[in-house]
Amino acid sequence: MTERDRPEPEAFLAAARAEGRGKLKVFLGAAPGVGKTYEMLSDAAVRLREGADVVVGLVETHGRVETDAMVRPFTVIPRRPVDVGGRMLAEMDLDAILTRRPELVLVDELAHTNLPGSRHPKRFMDIDELLEAGLDVFTTVNIQHIESLNDLVASFTRVRVRETVPDRVLEEAEIEVVDLPPDELIARLQAGKVYVPEEASRALGHFFSRSNLTALRELALRRAAQAIDAKMLSELRAQSLAGPYAAGERILVAVSEWPSSPGLVRAAKRLADALGARWTALHVETRRSARLGEGDRKRLGDTLALASSLGGDTATIPAEGVTDGLKRFALDARITQLVIGKSRRSWWFQLRHGSVVDELVRDMGEVAIHVLPAGDDRRVATEPQASVIDPTTAADYARATAMVALATGIDVVLRPLIGLNSTDLVYLVPVMAAALLYGLRPGLLAGLVAALAYNFFFLPPVYTFTIADPQNAVTVVVLLGVAVITSQLAARVRAQGALAATSARQNAALAGFARALAAAPDESTLGQALAGESAMLFDARAVYLTRRDGALTIAAAVPPEDTLDAVARAAADWAFDRGQPAGRGSDTLPAADWLFVPVTTGGVTRAVFGLGRDDSRDPVRADQRGLLSALIDQAGLALARIHAEFEMAGIARLEERDRLRSALLASVGHDLRSPLTTVVATAADLAARYGEGDPAFAALTGEAARLQRFVTNLLDMARVEAGALQLDVQPIDLTDAVASAVHDVRPALIGHAIALDVPPDLPLIRADARLLHHCLINLLDNAGKFGAPGTPIGVAAVRTLDALTLRVIDEGPGLPPGFETSAFDRFARIEGSDRAREGAGLGLAIVKGFAEAMGFTVHAANRVDRGGAAFALTIPAALLVRVDVG
C-alpha cells in the first residue's frame, strides 16, 4: 500500500471517537421565524411513527398554535425548577433525560445559556453529555449564533448576539438548513407569527431588512456546505478514495491580550474553512508579558480557548519582539498565510516604536498577510498596560547620584594629572554603570547630574552653571546620549536573559520531571512527583486522584493534608468520566475552587490531576497552559509505561502458570494412559468371562470408560494449547458423524432418549473426522450430565445461506446468568451443580479448541422454548462441499 492509498489515521481516530456516541442533527436557520422548531418536530414525528422512543427534552413553542399541536404526541420530560434570586424558573432536566434513556431527544435553542446553578453553563454542553451517553439529539440554532460568524453577522445587521456555540458542534452534526425567502419571512413577521406586533415593527426596521435576510441566507447555505464538504472529505480519507483535498495552506493568526484578538481568531477560522486549511493561534511572549495584569491574562486565556474551541491549534513562544517571534514561528511551521490586526496609532507612536505590520510585510517573503483593522484597543482595554520600562526604586536613583559624586571626587583628585580635556571621560563610567545596572531613568539622571557637575566644578567660569564655551555643551549632550543608548542596550540584554531564563527553567523543570517519572516504580510515586512539581511551578495546591472501588481517592497531594469539598469532587468525577477538564477555568462546574485535568493513556482515563488556589485566581494562567499540558502528557506516558510493566508481569505469570499446567496435563495424561488402557481391557475381559449382566462389572466397565475419556481430554487439551494438532481435512457426511458419536457415547446417556433432526440432504462438510468426532462426543456427554434424568437430548442441524449450524440441546436447569460466555473456558464448571463433580471442566474447552482449529465457531445459550441449554457448532459456507448436479 502506498502513502497515497493508505487511509489517514485522523479519519480512523474520528471514527473511533464517534463509536458509541449518539448522532446529532442540527436544524440550521438563516433567521428567527423560518420554522426550525416546526421542521424538527415534523422529522421527529416520522421517527415516532416508525416506533422510535422519542421525548421532548425542551421545546420552545412561543405560544404558536401549530407548534403546540406538533408537541402533543410526544412524551415531554418535565422541566427542572430553579430558584434564581427568589424567582422560580424552569430549565431542562438533564438527569431525568439520562435516566429515561430514550432513543431520540428534542432540545430546542442550541445556543441557550443555562440558568445559574446548572451543571453546564451552556445548553450545547448539555447536548454533548446526552450524545456521550449514546442518545440521538435533534436541536435548532440560527446562523448568527455560530461563533466564527458572530462578528461577520454583526457587521451588517448591527446586532451582536451574546449567545454563541462553537463551530465544532456543526462539524460533528448532520445539518438541515431551514430557509424561507425574505419576502415570505417578512410577511410572517408582519402577520405576527414571529414576534408580537410592537416587536415586529422594530425588527422590520433593523434586523429583518431584505438585504440582511438575503445575506443571512447566503451565510447559512455556505456554512452548511462547508460542514457537508468536511464530512465528505473525512469519509474519503477514511476509505482512501480519490477526492478533493486541501492544497496544503497553513494559516497563522497573531493574538494578544487586546480585546480585538477574538475578532482576529474568528476571521482566521473563516479563512481556514474557506481554504480547507489547518490554522494556529500564536501568542508571542515578550518582556512586557510578565507585567500583564490579571484581567489582561484572563482575556488572553479566553482568546486562546476560543481558538481551541473553533478547532485551531494554539501556541505560546518567547521572543525578544513580536515581529521576531512571528517570523521564527512562521518559518518553522511553514506558514503560508498570516492574519494580524492593526490598531490605530499616532504618528509619534509609530515613529518611536515602529510598525509591526510594516516590518512583517517587508520581511515575511512569500507569506500572504491579511491585515484587519483592530480599532484603538487602548481605549477599550479593561485595565492600563504596564510600562515596558524596567521598574526602579528611590534607592536606584540615590545609587546613580552617589556614583556621579564619587566620579566628581576622583576628577578633583586627578585633574592636576590628566587635565581638563580628559576629565569628562571619567563621568562616562558612572553614567554607563547606572544605565546598565538600574535602567533608563536612573541612567538619564546620572547623565544629567554628571553634566551639571562637570559644568559646575570644571568648566569656566567654575562654581556656576554657565557654559562660556559652546563646544563644552557637546559634552552634556554626549553624556545624556550615552545614558539613553546604554540603558536601552542593557534593557534588551536583560529582556533576552529573562526570556532565556524562563525557557531554561521550564525546560529544566520538564527534564527533571521526565527523569522523576522515568524512575517512578508505581503510580503512587508518579502521582507524588506530578503533584510536587506542579505545586512548585504553578504556586498552587495539587492533588492526584485515582479510582478505587468505584470512587476517586487522593493518591498524592501537596500539601499532604489537602482535602476536596463536594463541588470539587463532582468536578473531579466529571473529568474522570468524560475525559475532559472540569472545574475553575473550564466549561464544566466553573464554580469549583479546583481545576481538574484527566490523565489518559491510549484514550482511556486512568487518573485525574487537580490544581487549586485559596484565592479567586485561576489555578493556571493562560501563558502556563502549555506547560501544564506538557506535564500531563509526560505523566500519561509514564503511567502507560507503569501499566504496561504491570500487565507484562501479569502476562509472564500467566504464561508460566499455563506452561506448568500444560506440562502437568501432558505428564499426567501420558502416565495414566498406559495403565488405564490395561484397566479398560481387563474390565471388558472380566465382564465377558464372568457375566456381562452383573451390575458390578457394568459399573467397572462404565467408570473405566469414563476415566479413559477424561485422560483423553487431558491429552487433547495439552495438544490444543501446544498447537500440536495435525489436521486431516476431508469431506464428511454430517449425518454419519452424528450417528457415530451417538453410538459411542450411548452408555453414558442411559435414561436419555436421543432425538435426531439431521436432514440427510445436507451438504458434506470439510473437517477432520477425528476432531469432529471428539467435539460431538463431548457435547453429547455434557448434555447427558446436565440434562434432567429421563428427558430427551436433541441433535438438530439447520442450513442457512451463509452457514450450517449443528445444535445439541438438553432439558436441564440451563446455564447460570453470565455463564454463556465462560462455558468454553478451561476448568469452567457450574458451581453447586450435583453433576459438576463428574467432570474437570475440560470437555467444552476441548470442543472450542478443536472447532476453531477446523474453522468452526461455537457458542452456548439457554433455550427459549423451555428450560435447558443449547450448544451450537457453526460451520461457515466456505467449508461446505458443493455438489453440482448435471
C-alpha cell at 404: 556621579
CB-side exposure of 703: number of CA atoms within 13 Å? 7
Q: For residue 494, what pLDDT band results from cuts at 50, 70 and 90?
A: low
Give the tens place of pLDDT for each residue, 781-817: 888 888 888 889 999 999 988 889 999 999 888 888 8
Q: For residue 363, what pLDDT band results from cuts at 50, 70 and 90?
A: confident
Residue 139, pLDDT score: 95
d(C-alpha 712, C-alpha 670), whole Å = 9
Residue 201, pLDDT score: 47
**Measured CA distances, 51 to 54, 377, 539 (Å):** 9, 57, 57
Q: Is 802 helix (H, G, I), strand (E, B) or coil?
A: coil
For the ranges 80-94, 110-124, 695-709, 839-853, the lowest mean pLDDT is seen at: 695-709
CA dihedral 676, 678, 679, 684 (to 10 degrees): 130
Whether 389 maps to a domain, the answer reads no
| Residue whose C-alpha is closest to residue 557's, from 583, 575, 525, 531 | 531
In a shared domain, residues 192 and 287: no
CA dihedral 104, 110, 116, 117 (to 10 degrees): 30
Whether 190 maps to a domain, the answer reads yes
Chain position carrying cell 480519490: 242
Domain boundary among 341, 372, 403: 372
d(C-alpha 721, C-alpha 799), whole Å = 31
Domain boundary among 495, 528, 543: 495
Judge contact between 239 and 249, C-beta under 8 A.
no
When divided into structural domains, the chain yields a total of: 4
Range(s) of the domain holding residue 295: 250-372
Is residue 83 over pLDDT 50? yes
C-alpha cell at 415: 585633574
Judge contact between 882 and 763, C-beta under 8 A.
yes
Residue 93, pLDDT score: 93
In the 8-state DSSP scheme, what is residue 817? T
d(C-alpha 182, C-alpha 299), whole Å = 38
Residue 382, pLDDT score: 44
Q: Is 655 helix (H, G, I), strand (E, B) or coil?
A: helix
d(C-alpha 127, C-alpha 24), whole Å = 9
Burial class (CB within 10 angstroms; exposed 0-12, middle 13-18, buried 19+) of 357 = middle
Q: For residue 638, what pLDDT band results from cuts at 50, 70 and 90?
A: confident
Residue type, 97: I
In a shared domain, residues 341 and 294: yes
In a shared domain, residues 197 and 257: no
**pTM of this prediction?**
0.51
d(C-alpha 433, C-alpha 482), whole Å = 11
Is residue 349 over pLDDT 70? no
Q: What is the DSSP annotation of 174-207?
A: EEEEE---HHHHHHHHHTTSSS-HHHHHHHHHTT
| Residue whose C-alpha is closest to residue 846's, from 870, 831, 827 | 827
Give the tens place of pLDDT for each residue, 460-474: 777 777 766 666 667
Whether 670 maps to a domain, the answer reads no
d(C-alpha 769, C-alpha 780), whole Å = 16
Judge contact between 264 and 274, C-beta under 8 A.
no
Alpha-carbon radius of gyration of the chain = 41
In a shared domain, residues 258 and 184: no
Task: Provide the 10 A C-beta neighbour count for residue 308.
Answer: 16
Strand (E) positions, 158-203? 174-178
Q: For residue 148, what pLDDT band results from cuts at 50, 70 and 90?
A: confident
d(C-alpha 450, C-alpha 87), whole Å = 72
Domain boundary among 215, 239, 263: 239
Average pLDDT value for residue range 382-405: 68
Is residue 713 over pLDDT 70? no
Chain position carrying cell 522515568: 518
Whether 535 maps to a domain, the answer reads no
Give the contacts of 484 (CB within 8 A, at least 6 positions apart).
Answer: 435, 440, 443, 444, 447
**Measured CA distances, 619 to 291, 539, 545, 580, 843 (Å):** 18, 8, 17, 16, 61
Sheet holding 729-732, edge to edge: 729-732, 764-768, 880-881
In a shared domain, residues 82 and 197: yes
Whether 568 maps to a domain, the answer reads no
Residue 393, pLDDT score: 75
For the ranges 197-201, 229-233, 523-527, the lowest mean pLDDT is seen at: 197-201
Average pLDDT value for residue range 114-121: 86
Chain position carrying cell 474447552: 845
Whether 819 maps to a domain, the answer reads yes
In the 8-state DSSP scheme, what is residue 113? B
Chain position carrying cell 466397565: 701
Contacts 24+ apart (CB under 8 A), 544-548: 544/607, 544/608, 544/609, 544/610, 545/572, 545/576, 545/596, 545/607, 545/608, 545/609, 545/610, 546/606, 546/607, 546/608, 547/576, 547/607
Judge contact between 486 and 436, C-beta under 8 A.
yes
Is the peptide bond between 559 and the residue preceding it cis, with omega within 30 degrees of 0?
Answer: yes
| Residue whose C-alpha is closest to residue 378's, from 473, 295, 260 | 260
Whether 750 maps to a domain, the answer reads yes
d(C-alpha 724, C-alpha 716), whole Å = 10
In a shared domain, residues 271 and 225: no
% the chain with pLDDT above 70: 79
d(C-alpha 286, C-alpha 281), whole Å = 16
Average pLDDT value for residue range 397-406: 89
Judge contact between 148 and 269, C-beta under 8 A.
yes
In a shared domain, residues 133 and 264: no
Sheet holding 337-343, edge to edge: 313-318, 278-285, 250-255, 337-343, 368-375
Is residue 454 over pLDDT 60? yes
In a shared domain, residues 185 and 259: no
Strand (E) positions, 666-789? 729-732, 754-757, 764-768
CA dihedral 103, 106, 107, 109 (to 10 degrees): 150
Is residue 251 over pLDDT 50? yes
- Give the CATH number of the domain where residue 45 resides: 3.40.50.300
In a shared domain, residues 233 and 258: no
Residue 100, pLDDT score: 92
C-alpha cell at 640: 502507560
d(C-alpha 684, C-alpha 159), whole Å = 101
Q: Which of 512-521, 691-700, 815-824, 829-838 has the highest mean pLDDT?
A: 815-824
Task: Provide the 10 A C-beta neighbour count for residue 74.
Answer: 18
Give the tens place of pLDDT for each residue, 819-844: 887 788 876 666 655 544 455 567 78
Give me the phi and psi of 534, to 5 degrees please.
Answer: -70, -40
In a shared domain, residues 212 and 338: no
For the ranges 488-502, 519-533, 784-798, the lowest mean pLDDT is seen at: 488-502
- Give the CATH number of the domain where residue 795 resides: 3.30.565.10
d(C-alpha 447, C-alpha 687), whole Å = 127
In a shared domain, residues 193 and 87: yes
Whether 450 maps to a domain, the answer reads yes
d(C-alpha 886, C-alpha 874), whole Å = 29
In a shared domain, residues 219 and 254: no
d(C-alpha 679, C-alpha 681), whole Å = 6
Length of the chain: 886
Residue type, 820: E
Judge contact between 163 and 145, C-beta under 8 A.
yes
| Residue whose C-alpha is closest to residue 28's, from 158, 169, 148 | 169
Summary mean pLDDT of the chain: 79
Q: For residue 347, what pLDDT band results from cuts at 50, 70 and 90?
A: low
**Measured CA distances, 10 to 18, 20, 75, 134, 672 (Å):** 12, 18, 39, 22, 58
Judge contact between 252 and 338, C-beta under 8 A.
yes
Give the tens place of pLDDT for each residue, 192-227: 666 545 444 454 455 677 888 888 888 888 888 777
